[in-house]
Amino acid sequence: MAIIVNLDVMLAKRKMKLNELSKEVGVSVVNLSILKQGKGKAVRFSTLDAICKVLDCQPGDILEFKADEPAKVSSKQD
Amino acid sequence: MKISNVIFVMILALAVAFFLYAGDKNSFGFIHIFGLSMLFLMVFNLVGRKFKILKPYYVSKLNPLSIKHKLTRDIDLPKELLVPKIVEALKVSKYNVEDVDIVKGEVFAMSSVGWNSWGQNVYIDIEEINGISRMHFCSVEVHMAVDWGKNKKTYNTFIENFEASLVI
């Protein structure tokens, strides 16, 4: 996927555990785990806002865009 | 709707009609026994549907008296996260979650009996294959031999709520 979630990196930087963040943010551990693994369908602005407040960071610290590498096409030139 | 089920319901309706109109005969014949069997089955289903131990009976293909709708879907979530999300989606779909086993990957839920429904049982099994969870969904109308599309509607509602629960 092109969007990478760096929540685990930010948690490590802040020396915080997922269940602590869950209590602070008010989102279940299961939902945060799904977000951390990048398996969620979407993120609400309210969730992002709460996470950024608790972790004292920017949305860009949590979400990162990495373009997918295009498939290499081998072609013969005459 | 399967033709065999329609034929079964027609036979059942005929049997009930015979039972009602042949009451003046004093003999306790086949029709009476059949009618009583149906009554017993109805009471049995009303009570028995609550017990998870009877899952093989309700899910079995050999049980034509309880119509079922089975579907399989692969979901890219580990079992430990998928089971709580399934429970969440079932609760939003107004089902009473009766039993949850995260280790085995089993969820059993029921809808209550109301004016427009005899109630449904939902059995969900999850197996992990190469890191991907395979969800086996089975919705059973315990009192119905004919499917009027309610089981499929149940599945669609559940999946909609499940997808919505992945918005965090």
Judged against a pLDDT cut of 80, whether residue A16 lies above it is answered with yes
* Chain B residues with CB-CB distance to A27 below 8 A: 168
Model-wide pTM > 0.90: no
Average pLDDT, chain B: 79
Which of B92, B133, B168 should we substitute to test contact with A (largest number of A Cβ atoms within 10 Å)?
Answer: B168
Tokens of B53: 């131990």
CB-based contact B168 A27, cutoff 8 Å: yes
Tokens of A11: 């948690």
pLDDT digits (tens, 9 = 90+) for B119-153: 888 999 999 888 788 999 888 887 776 677 777 78
Q: Select the more confidently predicted residue: B43 or B18.
A: B43
Tokens of A16: 């915080």
CB-based contact B77 A43, cutoff 8 Å: no
pLDDT digits (tens, 9 = 90+) for A39-69: 888 889 999 999 999 988 898 988 888 887 7
pLDDT of residue B148: 72
Between the two ends of chain A, the Cα-to-Cα distance in Å is 36
Sign of CA dihedral B143, B147, B151, B157: negative
Chain A residues with CB within 8 Å of chain B CB: 27-28, 30-35, 37, 39-44, 47
Q: Select the more confidently predicted residue: A30 or B10.
A: A30
* B72 touches B135 (CB < 8 A): yes
pLDDT of residue B22: 63
